[in-house]
Structure 1
Amino acid sequence: MKKLALLAACALFAVTGSLALPRMALAETWAIEHVTLIDGTGHAPQADMTVTVDGDRIASVGPSALAKSKGKVIDGHGKYLMPGLMDVHIHLHGGVDNRTDTNESRTAALASYIYSGVTTVYDAGNQVDNILPLRAAERAGKILSPRIFCTGNLITYPGSHGSGMAVNVSDFEKDKDKLDRQIAEQQPDIIKLTLEEEGWGARPMITLMPEQLLRDVIRYYNLHGIRTTIHVSSELRAEEAIFAGTDSLAHPVIQGPVSDSFVKLMGAKKTPFASTLTIGENYSRLAEHPEYLDQPLYAASFSPADRATLKTKVRAEYQARMWTAWMKLMTPVAEENIRKVWAAGGVVAAGTDQSSGPALQRELELLVAAGIKPFDVLTIATHNGAVLLGKADTLGSVEPGKLADLLLLNADPTASIENVKNIAFVMKAGQIIDESKLPLAGGPQKRRFTP
């Protein structure tokens, strides 16, 4: 029945056009000349470069003096070209509560990512009727949205973390049919599992997934060609997840400072993990500095009513919660853990655990605050996201043959991470986004760049 309902939902989007956006125009041929290139791979910025785009792919990258430009020419003097940003841990919803979470509001949330320079997202757990039709609509070109990769329902043990939105598995052999149905009906891009007994901060202890079951599920999904990511919060569980065979971790260690041996492990294994600093810092930020919601990206991404609710009702709730104080205490711990792993050669990818484009921009700021250089944060927010997703062959860097998901900036992002917000244009699949057509919750915005 769930499969039939999901197929019906997808058909409804296709027939009614309820996402209310036209199919994207065919991509063209572009030459972005005399630009400073930050290619996402960790290569030093390259001045006076020309990048050509043919259709949805990058055709060539090289010095402007040697380039043979064709198609529409864009003068990149004084500008900086980099890959589109990636948020590799979101949970898509729209508005600030269940009453305002609709298909329309979720589409507006997706638009906020594109507006903020994010061209790829990974939804790490959601109600399938919410996320799967949107993934289908994005891939069919029916909505202006970042590329959507998703888990659908995550996998966990009964009573464990996230069991309310998960396929619950207690015995691998007996419950294998549940995994088969999830794979067939939801076609997850990456499956997310949880290894979390909680019991920290203000949380009570809960049931933990047995380690052997974790190993069996990871192996089963990998044998079906599907990567895995694991929700963890402690060093112990992160280590167990790594040796159980996970392809990535959904969070950094946040429960306490990491040991030197764990730092060495992450440098040696190079298991990618999502940074997700913003979700914890968001509580004290709203409680103490609600004025951040007046910044341009937030004003475009949230409706006036939602911003007012956040500044009043939600802020008061956060101020009264013990969790807010706890996360304010632990966020600097997580920042230092991330910095140490990065310095040891570990693979950090940018993720927010939130549901708006501006949150990813805030994540970049927090990574810099952790002591990571802005240039390195750009790699974290682009190439490393593609590594975590297993898509580095097609996404995450400016190289010939890669998909043309690009971000042109008016100022140097290696000088200040704030300059990543100074967007000249966003390109997805070779098409320059017209911001005036984005269904943003904050209302229509002016187009930034007219070819």
Structure 2
Amino acid sequence: MGALMARGRFPRAGAGLAIAFAFALAGEVAAAQTLRYVALVDGGTQAGHQVVVEGDDGVTRSEFIFKDNGRGPELKEEFTLNPDGTFRSYRVTGTSTFGAPVDETFTLADGVARWTSTSGRGEQPVGPGAQYSPLGGSPAATSVSLAALAKRPDGRLPLIPSGVLSARKVAEAEVRKGGDRRTVQLLAITGVGFSPSFAWATDEARPRLFAYIYPGFVQMIEEGWESNADALEEVQKRAESEALVAMHGRLAHRLPGSTLIRNARVFDSEHARLGEASDVRLRDGRIDSVVPAGTDADAADHVIDAGGRVLLPGLFDMHAHVSRWSGGLQLAAGVTSLRDMGNDNATLQQVIAEARDGTLVMPRIVPAGFLEGESAQSARNGFVVADLEGAKKAIDWYADHGYRQLKVYNSFPKQILADTVAHAHARGLRVSGHVPVFLRAQDALDAGFDELNHINQIMLNFMVRPDTDTRTLERFYLPARETADLDLDSKPVQDFIALLAEKQIVIDPTLATFEFLHQREGQITPIFAGVEDHLPPDVQRSRRAAEMDIPDDATGARYRESFDRMVEFVGRAWRAGVPVVAGTDEVPGFTLHHELALYVRAGLSPAQALQVATWNGAKYSGVLDTLGSITPGKVADLVLVDGDPTADIGDIRKAATVIQGDVAYYPAEIHAELGVRPFAQPLRAVPGTTK
């Protein structure tokens, strides 16, 4: 799940990615000039393009197409500019990443801005120099903002409907094309989303965007200059490292020596129950003792008075796709460990090393190796292979680098699946994944899968025909259409659930992610429902855009009924003894909380849902010997909650203190850094007494 420029979705690198990506793809266009950009993935495979043409009639027209993993946006725009470089008029049409229609307009006349889109409309009086921020636009739309920003003497560009954009130069580099040389600058762009974004621009008084690079995923660069992309990516990674190290220094609070947490109600994750109040002593990043409250009278270097609050083991997100900027939202949500389920291998190795060295605000990472087959719809992560020899080499690389699991993807050749799984098992790797095209989930189990990822992949078991191409958007639309009619009491469904339970096949349903199947235009995504007022205004607005093409109320009702049936399936599977793990594949932190709420809706108790996110996470990540419970000798990954999530799962949002080994994080501080209104006040460690 997740894709570049996914309209209405939170991009993996942070909410600011969409606007930064847009900046990077197209700059201010001179009269009668055509600018062309290419999008490269997987070391040079072209996956898209941007063409921007300014006509003699004063209208700029653009076309943007990006396709990866069998999906992506197709957009066309027309716009005119005011003398200050901001939009006078704007129009975009096309389709979003998952096929939803895009149709948005903006006009500015007599000091009044008016806009409409498929998710709503608005108007407001504006002063001079304010720039409209399109909801569903292509890179060319928001790239106009860079030229307008360069004209602002204060370096701040007011945005419509809300927000202020700014940019700061953080690096520069020389690029070459034959005998032509340019100096380009790397800009850190802030004011949109949860984190800064980075874009390359020409080093001029009125800069024009030259490239956007998302390290490890895509390089979008002006056509003809592609040979410079790798060098620019390395410069950018170093510049981002400086910002990330500085953020870690602001947010990480060391707890050397001993720490005493007094009067905490400890959650027993093995048995899914809340215990009596206890004193929990930590020493050098590990749990030293757990005794009845008031009985630990020894000195400690640091003391936290829990005041009867609930103490949980750190949560696991079992379906993440890590970026270097995603860790803050995870830790603020109490996620101290995550399983990465597909990434660029070099990028993931870098993130793991930086997290281990203590320079990133990042949960512990358990990597799963990504294995895809070659096709026009391939996802360009991990290794993309064409035969069994290539698959075995990829598995050997993952095993040699300490990976515990393999994830197989949509285009993997079905003819070599069983032999590939056998080799992975021989190298000590569990196997999970999407169900390869032209197979059913039952076939994947017969080939030796240990785990199934995503509820849609499970539902497709009862729907696909021999010619169903699940590399396309049909893997979303087919279960949205047909799950409503699936009889969960039927023999095929009951037999399949029984097989999952008998073989102890883990399911990673990522239910919260699939709320997008029924989300209507103008409705806030259910992931943020009830907490949207805590979020930056631009994030709220972006998450009111639908992703699926839902043409009428009847279709919307049917898709909603299908989703409800998916939730019910997970509850039935759990009660039958099928192991469940809690993963997200969406906006970090917030999605895990909603995932647990959906498990409660499926029939689990809040305590059982917490067990899934703690004990099960550690067990099926292969780290239960060191994590997953509050047990002496284990690593001190803990969450102190200002509420009781064993009674009300919604209280899981109220993390007051998160401890990761010998480091304390205060979610309120992280949220303030990311533009989020905190959910709980910090419960700080204070100096203790020594003997």
Q: What band does the TM-score fall into relative to the shorter chain?
A: 0.7 to 0.9
Asked if 2 retains the 8 angstrom alpha-carbon contact of 1:92 and 1:354, the reply is: no
Inter-partner Cα distance in structure 1 for 2:435 and 2:529: 32
Inter-partner Cα distance in structure 2 for 1:53 and 1:297: 33
Which of 310, 313, 326 is 2:543 aligned to?
Answer: 310
- Taking a change above 3 Å as real, the CA distance of residues 47 and 436 of structure 1, as seen in their structure-2 partners, is closer
Please give the residue correspondences for 1:17-416 in structure 2 after superposition, counting only pairs within 5 Å: 17-19=242-244, 20-22=246-248, 24=252, 26-28=254-256, 29-64=258-293, 66-67=295-296, 69-71=298-300, 72-92=302-322, 106-107=324-325, 109-128=326-345, 130-151=347-368, 154-159=370-375, 162-173=378-389, 176-181=392-397, 188-194=403-409, 196=410, 209-210=413-414, 213-232=416-435, 237-252=440-455, 253-255=458-460, 256=486, 257=488, 259-285=493-519, 287=521, 289-290=523-524, 303-311=536-544, 314-315=545-546, 327-416=559-648
Q: How many residues align?
A: 418
Secondary structure (helix, strand or coil) at the match of 1:156 reads: strand
Secondary structure (helix, strand or coil) at the match of 1:34 reads: strand
- Taking a change above 3 Å as real, the CA distance of residues 351 and 15 of structure 1, as seen in their structure-2 partners, is closer
- Taking a change above 3 Å as real, the CA distance of residues 158 and 372 of structure 1, as seen in their structure-2 partners, is same
Q: Which amino acid aligns with 1:32?
A: I
Secondary structure (helix, strand or coil) at the match of 2:646 reads: coil
- Taking a change above 3 Å as real, the CA distance of residues 287 and 449 of structure 1, as seen in their structure-2 partners, is farther
Identity of aligned residues (%): 26
1:426 and 2:658 aligned: yes
Inter-partner Cα distance in structure 2 for 1:324 and 1:124: 30
Structure-2 residue corresponding to 1:201: none
Inter-partner Cα distance in structure 1 for 2:293 and 2:440: 50
Show structure 1 runs of 5+ residues with no match: 94-105, 197-206
Secondary structure (helix, strand or coil) at the match of 2:268 reads: coil
Inter-partner Cα distance in structure 2 for 1:317 and 1:276: 17
Secondary structure (helix, strand or coil) at the match of 1:51 reads: strand
Inter-partner Cα distance in structure 2 for 1:276 and 1:423: 22
1:32-62 Cα shifts (integer Å, max 9, x gaps): 2222211211253211222211121111223
Secondary structure (helix, strand or coil) at the match of 1:386 reads: helix
Asked if 2 retains the 8 angstrom alpha-carbon contact of 1:34 and 1:49, the reply is: yes
- Taking a change above 3 Å as real, the CA distance of residues 326 and 305 of structure 1, as seen in their structure-2 partners, is same
1:318-366 Cα shifts (integer Å, max 9, x gaps): 6569997775333222211111111122211111121321111111111
1:103-125 Cα shifts (integer Å, max 9, x gaps): xxx51x32111111111122211
Inter-partner Cα distance in structure 2 for 1:18 and 1:292: 32
Segment drifting more, 334-343 vs 163-172: 163-172
Q: Which amino acid aligns with 1:332?
A: D
Inter-partner Cα distance in structure 2 for 1:290 and 1:344: 34
How far did residue 299 of structure 1 move? 5.9
- Taking a change above 3 Å as real, the CA distance of residues 127 and 296 of structure 1, as seen in their structure-2 partners, is farther
How far did residue 88 of structure 1 move? 0.4
Secondary structure (helix, strand or coil) at the match of 1:21 reads: helix
RMSD, aligned CA:
3.6
Larger-gyration structure (1/2)? 2
Inter-partner Cα distance in structure 1 for 2:238 and 2:430: 28
Segment drifting more, 111-120 vs 284-293: 284-293
Asked if 1 retains the 8 angstrom alpha-carbon contact of 2:371 and 2:394, the reply is: no
How far did residue 147 of structure 1 move? 1.6
Structure with the bigger percentage of strand: 2
Structure with the bigger percentage of helix: 1
The structure with higher relative contact order (CA 8 Å, sep 6+) is 1
Secondary structure (helix, strand or coil) at the match of 1:192 reads: strand
Show structure 2 runs of 5+ residues with no match: 1-41, 44-215, 217-229, 461-485, 686-691
Q: Which amino acid aligns with 2:277?
A: D
Inter-partner Cα distance in structure 2 for 1:370 and 1:271: 19
Inter-partner Cα distance in structure 2 for 1:159 and 1:16: 34
Asked if 2 retains the 8 angstrom alpha-carbon contact of 1:287 and 1:318, the reply is: no
Secondary structure (helix, strand or coil) at the match of 2:289 reads: strand
Q: Which amino acid aligns with 1:358?
A: F
- Taking a change above 3 Å as real, the CA distance of residues 320 and 55 of structure 1, as seen in their structure-2 partners, is farther
Secondary structure (helix, strand or coil) at the match of 2:353 reads: helix
Inter-partner Cα distance in structure 2 for 1:363 and 1:268: 25
How far did residue 215 of structure 1 move? 2.3
Inter-partner Cα distance in structure 2 for 1:220 and 1:114: 35
Inter-partner Cα distance in structure 1 for 2:555 and 2:366: 30
The two structures have a TM-score, normalised by structure 2, of: 0.54
Segment drifting more, 438-447 vs 326-335: 438-447
Secondary structure (helix, strand or coil) at the match of 1:281 reads: helix
Q: Which amino acid aligns with 1:310?
A: R
Inter-partner Cα distance in structure 1 for 2:547 and 2:395: 41
1:339-394 Cα shifts (integer Å, max 9, x gaps): 11111222111111213211111111111111111111010111111122111111
The two structures have a TM-score, normalised by structure 1, of: 0.80
